[in-house]
Amino acid sequence: MPVKSNFSVTPYSVSGNVDYQKLIKKFGTKPITGTLLRRISKYTGGDLHFMLRRGVFFTHRDLGWLLDRYDQGEKFYLYTGRGPSERTHIGHLIPWTMTKWLQDKFGSKLIFQITDDEKFLSDESLDLSDTRRYAMDNILDIIALGFSKKKTEILIDTDNADILYRNAIRIAKKINYSTVKAAFGFNESTNIGFIFYTSIQAVPSILESVREGRNVPCLIPHGVDQDPHFRVTRDVLPKLGYYKPASIQSIFVPPLSGVSGKMSSSDPNSTIFLTDDPKTVEMKIKKYAFSGGQPTIEEHRKLGGNPDIDVSFQWLKIFFEPDDRKLQKIEDDYKSGALLTGELKSILIEKINSFLEKHQERREKARDVIQDFLVSREDRK
């Protein structure tokens, strides 16, 4: 199987077969080592989320520093976000689930930014009413994941222009055009709102410090494509007297079509939405999930399948089978040919549908509590 070595990752497009080790070098981040993982499990009573154990979160910035501060008694807060350009899908669950786990384990506050402004500015076809609609829709999925009502605030950018703008201009003043051009690939026809945007995404990483009047460490769990925003942010913040935010960064969940590139909502057959019904899930997996199996049952029994390129197996590994022993057995059986592609797909379909059934119930209940999560007027500073 020829593997393309050309790939590109920016917050606005991902293409090719991403080589994560090369990406670490290119972006200048650090791998999440066993030593760091052991340090984390020291605070969690030995518990380590399987996405950390399996390298789904594979790289970081300043995680060791953050834990040093924690040892000194400085609690950190969490920050993550969502650009509401479509319905939410399986891929979004990775950083959000990690954020929820960290909130549970460390009792951290969380700022969840909804960047409707970003999606309005970056997508020609979206109006502010579209991004608003997606924002309110996506927030239901976020709340359904079970974030603490007391410790979480969801900040919709266009509803919080005051706190965002006052801080964003201080940041924007320290960033020049050539920096963002290099980071995001802007050109002469890029609209100027979009050019300014990264300074808006930077604000939540200082917001607690602004509110508290002292530096508060910030940890940002995010997909690796967002790193350019925070690379720029980290260069600027010390000039304004703030800590740089730390981050932990995840790989992409492969699209159904194969293990290269990133899932995209604009191709509904490449992904599973959190609102898909059981029949749709079954159809999509059966029809579209790229298989690492052999063309015939006979050959498969003889030669076995290749889990590394099998999307169903990868989805189990990345998110849907937390139990290491069960996952290992599936892998072994698939490789030996004892487990057929159809059987592997059935395991995944079962897992996804039982997850979605519960998720969709919680999603409906979330409608009643949206207001409790939104940054309230009195709170704005």
Binding-site ranges for ligand TRP (CB under 6 A) = 11, 79-83, 113, 115, 118, 201, 220, 222, 226
CA–CA dist 203, 168 (Å, integer): 6
Smallest distance from ligand TRP to CB 223, Å = 7
Smallest distance from ligand TRP to CB 183, Å = 13
Q: Tell me the CA distances in angstroms from 139 to 158, 243, 301, one per residue in order.
A: 14, 29, 45
What are the tokens at 8? 């590109």
Smallest distance from ligand TRP to CB 213, Å = 23
Nearer to ligand TRP, 115 or 341 (CB): 115
Which is nearest to 352 in space by CA: 124, 93, 115, 2? 93
In sequence order, which residues have a C-beta less than 8 Å from that of residue 156 and are 6 or more positions away?
114, 116, 135, 374, 375
Distance of CA 241 to the CA centre of its chain: 28
Which residue is closest to ligand TRP by CB? 81
Smallest distance from ligand TRP to CB 161, Å = 16
Nearer to ligand TRP, 118 or 321 (CB): 118
Nearer to ligand TRP, 140 or 349 (CB): 140
CA–CA dist 255, 217 (Å, integer): 34
Smallest distance from ligand TRP to CB 218, Å = 10
Nearer to ligand TRP, 138 or 341 (CB): 138
Smallest distance from ligand TRP to CB 372, Å = 21
Nearer to ligand TRP, 82 or 170 (CB): 82
CA–CA dist 76, 67 (Å, integer): 9
Nearer to ligand TRP, 11 or 258 (CB): 11
Nearer to ligand TRP, 229 or 351 (CB): 229
Smallest distance from ligand TRP to CB 320, Å = 22
In sequence order, which residues have a C-beta less than 8 Å from that of residue 356 and are 6 or more positions away?
274, 276, 278, 281
Nearer to ligand TRP, 123 or 333 (CB): 123
Q: Which residues of 187-222 are buried (b: 16+ CB within 10 A; e: fewer)?
A: eeebeeebbbbbbbbbbbbbbbbbeeeeebbbbbbb
Q: Which long-range contacts (CB under 8 A, 24 or more apart) does 95-100 make?
A: 95/221, 95/222, 95/223, 95/250, 96/142, 96/145, 97/51, 97/145, 97/319, 98/49, 98/51, 98/52, 98/57, 98/221, 98/248, 98/250, 99/147, 99/221, 100/145, 100/146, 100/147
Smallest distance from ligand TRP to CB 82, Å = 5
